[in-house]
Amino acid sequence: MTIRTITLAAVLFTTVAAVAETTYTVHRGETLKRISQKLGIPVAALEKANGLSGNHLRRGQVLTIPNSASYVAEAAPVMGTARILPESVTPHAGPFAGSKALDALLKGDSFAEIDRKSGWVKLQLRSGTGWLPSETVAISAAPVLAVYTPVTHVAKSTASKARETVVEKVAKSKNSLLKKAMTYRGVRYRWGGTSRSSGVDCSGFTTSVFKSQGIALPRTSIEQSHVGTAVAKSALKPGDLVFFRTSRSIRINHVGIYVGDGKFIHAATGAGHVMVSSLDQAYFARDYVTARRVADFNTASHVAEESQKAIEN
């Protein structure tokens, strides 16, 4: 996500170029908001391009997707610019911790601050708004406006470097497992799901990704935590499975794939889709349990045969 700043005071979507458009076929259970998050295009832009006024869509419906260069999303009047301080932090739909968790934000990202309430700040995000505890951001006094455009169509800004780093490293690497895993970003979370089209849960995601590399994992996170060899957190390598006990569970109930730089990719229940998060984030640091190495994808010396024996036994 590239961020530019201007001093305006209204919310609108302005067509700036006549460019080619593409289409998107709606999958079962998808909403306009979910598609907006998946494609990185504001809901209002999708509504305008398709003449929609509500969030209800039908399966198989074909949407016109405006080229990202054809619009800019201009934020509302703001109080300042908020820069993310922690390595990773999760915004919420409301100004309290019990509200719905949104996509994690990374250190160095900057957003327009548009409201404050009881120790929380409201930010204008790429798709909608979100709230963060005030201690997690640094606020600049200058009233600015954030204009968002996907990095695939404009020069990358320094503000987005933290988010791009691990993704770019994977893209440049020879780690086929991680490259496959990254293609799932944005795929919706669905309990019991193992399909990109209908959604995946955490172990369904890891099962599908490893299967693409010829490695069969057991179906559940607790079963996967017994495959391969144990790895210390300090010795993690890209491709290792990382496990957690979330929501005060007494047993392992969540799994993801380590991608490097202290980050891992997983099907997140709270965010509702596959995403990259930080192991240093308080929630995951607290609930982290163990890691397992099923294969060494960094040296291309797969230990799949040994892993398969472990699975079969």
User: What CA–CA distance (Å, rounded) separates 148 from 145?
Assistant: 10
Give the CB-side neighbour count of residue 100, counting CA atoms within 13 A. 8
User: Among this protein's residues, is 27 annotated catalytic?
Assistant: no
Contact 116, 133 (CB under 8 A): no
Check 56, 153, 226, 254 and give the catalytic one. 254
Which of 27, 92, 266, 273 is catalytic? The answer is: 266
Backbone angles phi, psi at 199, to 5 degrees: 115, 160
153 is known as an active-site residue: no
**Closest residue by Cα to residue 38 from 166, 188, 182, 160:** 188
Alpha-carbon span 238 to 175, nearest angstrom: 8
Q: How far apart are CA 240 and CA 94, in angstroms?
A: 34
Residue 241's nearest CA partner among 31, 67, 254 is: 254
Token code pair at residue 81: 């610019």
First to last CA, the chain: 46
202 is catalytic: yes
Q: Which of 27, 92, 202, 273 is catalytic?
A: 202
Coil, helix or strand for 260?
A: strand
The residues assigned a catalytic role are 202, 254, 266
